[in-house]
A and B are shown apart, each in its own frame.
Chain A
Amino acid sequence: MASKPRVRVPKKAKAGDIITIKSLISHKMETGQRKDKKTGEKIPRLIINKFVCKFNGNVVFSSDWHPAVSANPYMAFSYKVVESGEFEFTWTDDAGETVSKKAKLTVS
């Protein structure tokens, strides 16, 4: 499905800091509402329906997405830093394909 996702996580932070995590992925997000202009048949829905962010294996943020989400979806959220570790971001689409990306965070 989607090609390389992009995530932005600060490399270093202090414990107790609230950081902003940004993500962007390229995806068509076919809504399932459109018709093929030539045949008149509905184009089946193919969207990313789940976005999950784990930190050291525990889910810290997750969201279900629906057809109103735009193509090339951007998602940002805040996170309160506790310890050093690794984020893992996972996008899952209707075809069951997943794309994930990892990013490290060091507490200084």
Chain B
Amino acid sequence: MKRKALVLAGVGAVALAVPSVMTFAAEDWGQYQVGDKRSGYTFAKAETRAIQDDDFENPGMLWVEHGEELWETVDGEAQKSCKSCHADASDTMKNVGSTYPVFAKDIGKLENVENRINRCRTDNMKAKPWKYDSRNMLGMVSYVKRQSFGQPMNVKVDGDAAPWFEKGKEFYNQRRGQLDMACKHCHVDNAGNMIRANTLSQGQGNGFPTYRLKWQKPGSLHRRFRGCNKQVRATPYKTGSDEYLALELYVMYRGQGLPVETPAVRN
């Protein structure tokens, strides 16, 4: 009996080892893989990837279209629209999605697209700022980032942005919450492994705002950060906060070279 059990265990081990090796080497992900960096696209199911690939079927495009309308909509006391100053988005917003967050000299801190839009709204348009994950904000950010679609991520982490980058890196590697886990424990050490029923990705930010099927709408990268922080039972920071801005810069840097996928579709 003992011998039989041993043989069976041996067979089991071989059977387990073979498929895991095969799935690792088999796929050619094209532009979605740059060196070791793999977009969340490569961890998604084929059905989910099909939704993203078809611009018509991709529900995130509804928000892009909404943003396109807002671009031309006059708002605020100054009676201006985005278009009044920035003209054609396909020209003026061409490199925004791939280079933000950037260090803004006039306010002396790091700024992402969401915060930049709200600064423009309050200072130049004299309009009310939008809430971070509101329909209007998601629409505008999706539309702006969409203009960089397919361009490789290329954020600047030296010069004035360097201290923010260091802070973001520290955040990424810092254990937090009751579960005492850092970002890297899932997204560096265990990318590709299962966490309960889900496959862990590398946690790349190149597809945000991402349409999540679970959310049934697009969500910002900071919303995703809050979700992750809650899951390790840590108190999340506010969307748009300095902590998450620094983390955003580091996460974007990790995905340097991956194409902007906005709006990506994930589970």
Contact = CB atoms under 8 A, between A and B. Distances in A.
A72 B56 contact: no
A3 B136 CA distance: 13
Interface string A46-87: 000000000000000000000000111010000000000000
Contact of A3 (B56, B57, B66): B66
A101 interface: no
B216 A6 contact: no
Given A8-B56, A74-B57, A24 B213 contact: no
Interface of B: 56-57, 59, 62, 65-66, 213, 216-217
B216 A71 contact: yes
A63 B66 CA distance: 27
Given A6-B56, A22-B56, A24-B56, A70 B216 contact: yes
Interface of A: 3-4, 6, 8, 22, 24, 26, 29, 70-72, 74
Nearest to B51: A74
A99 B62 CA distance: 16
Given A3-B66, A4-B65, A72 B57 contact: no
Contacts of B66: 3
B4 to A, nearest CB: 48
Given A72-B59, A72-B62, A74-B59, 7 more contacts: A3-B66, A8-B56, A22-B57, A26-B59, A29-B216, A71-B216, A71-B217
Contacts of B56: 6, 8, 22, 24
B62 A24 contact: yes
A24 B57 contact: yes
A81 B56 CA distance: 22
**6 smallest beta-carbon distances between A and B, as pairs:** A71-B216, A72-B59, A26-B62, A8-B56, A22-B56, A74-B57
Contacts of A26: 59, 62
Nearest to B54: A22
13 contacts: A3-B62, A4-B65, A6-B56, A6-B62, A22-B57, A24-B57, A24-B59, A26-B62, A29-B216, A71-B216, A72-B59, A72-B216, A74-B57
Nearest to A6: B56
A3 B69 CA distance: 12
Nearest to B59: A72
A8 B65 CA distance: 16
Contacts of A24: 56-57, 59, 62
A26 B65 CA distance: 11
A26 B56 CA distance: 13
B56 to A, nearest CB: 5
A71 B217 CA distance: 8
